[in-house]
Structure 1
């Protein structure tokens, strides 16, 4: 077997890797001795594969591959006669997404089930639904801005927490029919805290799966964590049941379940499926959005030129804060470019969306693959063959019609950028249904934040390593992001 792969990945490909190296998984970009970007080492023996970077004569020993080429999205995740299935049973290096006897959700549904569920859930994320849900969103952003206005008088604020409070309250209200109360209490609800605690256990599950001793997962999980998980599940199911009962009473409330229940005819979703899907919607629609907002604020404040241009656009586009609506912020061209570039540099879900190659295997990007594969966003988004100055935060790459000559970021330099590599909401028939809501929420929050406050990174968060030093276990493990906020005191 012959491979032209970096020694770091070779070392990470063998069994006797130090245990701590599996537990402490940092985001990193690995380069070979010629300086070409190779990929992102995230979990043990995952290899990032891209044409021209790796030569593989025999890859039967590999459990998981990742690709940095744009064409891999269509091959792996696009519409196919035989679907590359999700990794539901924990093959490769991911824990199982489905417990024995557990009802399916829209995420864990098999192909024939997924089409049925998606048809029902899609109504909750339509343009009409988004317009009707704006009141929910604006109300929680009002609370966020008011809380920041008061608290910022005392000390710099940790925006990681505030963004999590906001997104969990928004999605909790839309999914369960009641918020978690995080914004008002300035603390994490027990249910939310349990979600974060559960995610931290994933690397340990990875290790036990790799060692083929998954039966130890339950035995090694502390009873308090098992009890917390069971309590959270029971609480979630009870909330959904209350919301369903409210719908039967004839409420006019417009949230996710109102649309799902209205369209949930005989061939729709069962109550257990609705319960599982509501939980998934909260987890998928909260932490990732908060992560994106945190990363974007950090990136714009670390790049004063970008921040100043964004401030000028936002504050010159509106005469009054009431004008800042979901529809209005869609017209902010530089804001849209900032959002797109932030998704490229700091995708909220930095790893792969694993799929299992069907049957005996098939050719992907010209090479025979027998195992599980995925498109690794972080590696693809930072590949110099995909982007000019890939590690720099340059929103101008998304403004092809604007020639911006400052600081050597002229737009013509980006003509060869492969923008279709970046797909933070995945691709194909199982892509994220909440894409439009996510864009609306994050643009609205960022715009109102820039409208109301002058912002500056606190020295504790302005050392240039806030992203680089983060660990990942499906999601980013973020340190506090302390920001000095100055209310600009509009009358």
Structure 2
């Protein structure tokens, strides 16, 4: 009896101590924390749970926007984190900081590729190491190098168009969004390893390309666990084992091992005349002398993960927006089809001058960024001032991309698709803060491959607009068959995982009509004869996206 009483007393005391500790933590975070004066929900100021739930359920982008709409341009989204929406905050957080250390990525961030043999790729490298790698890799994305890469891009874009033509002649349904994914993976495979994935040839994703996408789903859960449990703690390790399936590690290993194998094979064939990234590295002394073989392998894996599904997602959003805005579509078609004599003229030197096409892609990126999640940074030692608020070292800060680009503080009618704002056409757009939309980031960690991404997207878009008429499939127009974004959620069931990507309201059902010779079109009510050199017949194709 005494032992039972002692055990019960001990359990009661332990429970009371835990409750007391939690209560003290709540009081400290709410009333004595350095961020106590920042606006935001009470629950967020004392707990990581609301922000974590939003992250792992794929709703962070819309949740943070709702918070900013309610509380203003600065919101305390968790006990130690502030979210911002202004252009000034973006520069202060992600830009080069004069007279102080730059803000580095939060430790909760988990890249698509981790460290190997104590080495990392450019994305995870810190300070001087990041600068060294970025300088060595920068040549790959210069204008000179991009022009050399163009032949690789055009090869796969032409293959995409040819596939669509064949499907059109067979009256075969086409999943356009998936085909954007296929062409993106084949382009990056060819640029990284001189060997495409083969997605266009087989008309489907491969095990490897599927693993690349799944890595980001697993990383979302890992970040959520790190928010709640800390980084490198026993609790993080235990929770990861309980919630994240073992298969997640296989996805990461599949991507990394395949990348290492393909890179090693390409490095061993250094004399091959193929204008891929490794060819450029071997020919460019600074890159060859500055990067170890391991760093080259890690960066090739990084480029595959960063430059594939992101491009496909953007093109999906772009297709939806131009197809649901007739005036935009008409002007865009007129610009593209009046710029070339035939498809062979659709080269980067010409496409880069299509200003309205560029504006439509910028506007699609503003409304439908490939990743709407916040990229967290940590205030360095010595503290920093953001938006006039002094923040002590260790504070987490970020700009919410979705909230920023859809804020009326930054854009006129922010929820509307208006490419004209990027051309400053119309007084209503005079005060638009275009710098609030930076889907590729800014500052020293701006996406190193952004120029390649713009090149690929504009070449794909120009070829499709030249070859096909596009329209939303009216039979499916009002159905909620939506595009998948990058934020994700995962439901675990013992040994199996059910993945579900976050849905964003972008329809992927379009009709394509292949254009024949001497095609006419209506542009703003005026018939314009567009002299299009076409050799094959007119066919209609439907791109019907099945529910994911």
Same fold by TM (over 0.5)?
yes
Does the aligned pair in 1 maintain the 2:119–2:295 contact within 8 Å? yes
Give the distance between the partners of 1:268 and 1:198, measured in 2 at CA: 29
The counterpart of 1:444, out of the listed 459, 484, 501, is 459
Q: How does 1:9-88 map to 2 (within 5 A)?
A: 10=43, 14=47, 17=50, 23-26=56-59, 29=62, 39-40=64-65, 53=72, 62-80=79-97, 81-87=99-105
For normalisation by structure 2, the TM-score amounts to 0.77
Give the distance between the partners of 1:429 and 1:3, measured in 2 at CA: 31
Could you tell which deviates more after superposition, 99-108 or 291-300?
A: 99-108
Equivalent position SS for 1:72:
helix
The counterpart of 1:117, out of the listed 108, 133, 138, is 133
Provide, for residues 71-108 of structure 1, a one-character-per-residue CA deviation record: whole Å limited to 9, x for no partner.
12221122234433433632xxx447745855211111
Identify unmatched segments of 5+ residues in structure 1.
Answer: 31-38, 42-46, 403-410
Tell me how many residue pairs correspond in the alignment: 460
Q: How does 1:383-394 map to 2 (within 5 A)?
A: 383-394=407-418
Does the aligned pair in 1 maintain the 2:48–2:78 contact within 8 Å? no
Provide, for residues 343-366 of structure 1, a one-character-per-residue CA deviation record: whole Å limited to 9, x for no partner.
211122222222111015221110
Equivalent position SS for 2:148:
helix
Give the distance between the partners of 2:322 and 2:192, measured in 1 at CA: 31
Sort the Cα spacing of 1:220 and 1:117 in 2 relative to 1 into closer, same or farther, 3 A.
same
Superposition deviation, residue 15 in structure 1 = 5.2
Whose helix proportion is higher, 1 or 2? 2
Does the aligned pair in 1 maintain the 2:379–2:397 contact within 8 Å? yes
Sort the Cα spacing of 1:448 and 1:12 in 2 relative to 1 into closer, same or farther, 3 A.
farther
The counterpart of 1:240, out of the listed 263, 266, 271, is 263
Superposition deviation, residue 429 in structure 1 = 1.8
Equivalent position SS for 2:469:
strand
Q: Which has the larger radius of gyration?
A: 2
Equivalence for 2:155: 139
Superposition deviation, residue 378 in structure 1 = 1.2
Give the distance between the partners of 1:141 and 1:346, measured in 2 at CA: 23
Superposition deviation, residue 264 in structure 1 = 4.6
For normalisation by structure 1, the TM-score amounts to 0.85
Give the distance between the partners of 1:470 and 1:376, measured in 2 at CA: 16
Give the distance between the partners of 2:165 and 2:260, measured in 1 at CA: 36
Does the aligned pair in 2 maintain the 1:74–1:427 contact within 8 Å? yes
Sort the Cα spacing of 1:215 and 1:298 in 2 relative to 1 into closer, same or farther, 3 A.
same
Q: How does 1:249-328 map to 2 (within 5 A)?
A: 250-265=271-286, 267-328=289-350
Provide, for residues 28-49 of structure 1, a one-character-per-residue CA deviation record: whole Å limited to 9, x for no partner.
546xxxxxxxx426xxxxx759
Give the distance between the partners of 2:127 and 2:106, measured in 1 at CA: 12
Asked if 1:151 is matched to 2:157, the reply is no
Sort the Cα spacing of 1:260 and 1:277 in 2 relative to 1 into closer, same or farther, 3 A.
same
Give the distance between the partners of 2:410 and 2:326, measured in 1 at CA: 25
Provide, for residues 249-287 of structure 1, a one-character-per-residue CA deviation record: whole Å limited to 9, x for no partner.
x22211111112223557501111111011111111111
Provide, for residues 81-138 of structure 1, a one-character-per-residue CA deviation record: whole Å limited to 9, x for no partner.
4433433632xxx447745855211111111112211121111111111111111011
Q: How does 1:63-462 map to 2 (within 5 A)?
A: 63-80=80-97, 81-87=99-105, 89-90=107-108, 94-95=109-110, 98-99=114-115, 101-152=117-168, 153-212=170-229, 213-216=235-238, 217-218=240-241, 220-247=243-270, 250-265=271-286, 267-370=289-392, 371-400=395-424, 402=425, 411-459=426-474, 462=477
Sort the Cα spacing of 1:102 and 1:267 in 2 relative to 1 into closer, same or farther, 3 A.
same
Give the distance between the partners of 1:433 and 1:79, measured in 2 at CA: 16
Provide, for residues 170-195 of structure 1, a one-character-per-residue CA deviation record: whole Å limited to 9, x for no partner.
01110122110001101111111011
Task: Give the root-mean-square deviation of aligned CA atoms.
Answer: 3.0
Sort the Cα spacing of 1:4 and 1:372 in 2 relative to 1 into closer, same or farther, 3 A.
closer
Give the distance between the partners of 1:176 and 1:55, measured in 2 at CA: 44
Equivalence for 1:407: none
Provide, for residues 131-158 of structure 1, a one-character-per-residue CA deviation record: whole Å limited to 9, x for no partner.
1111101110011011112224434422
Identify unmatched segments of 5+ residues in structure 2.
Answer: 1-30, 230-234, 490-500, 517-533, 536-548
Superposition deviation, residue 211 in structure 1 = 3.1
Could you tell which deviates more after superposition, 221-230 or 231-240?
A: 221-230
Superposition deviation, residue 204 in structure 1 = 2.5
Superposition deviation, residue 323 in structure 1 = 0.8
Equivalent position SS for 2:236:
coil
Sort the Cα spacing of 1:285 and 1:477 in 2 relative to 1 into closer, same or farther, 3 A.
farther
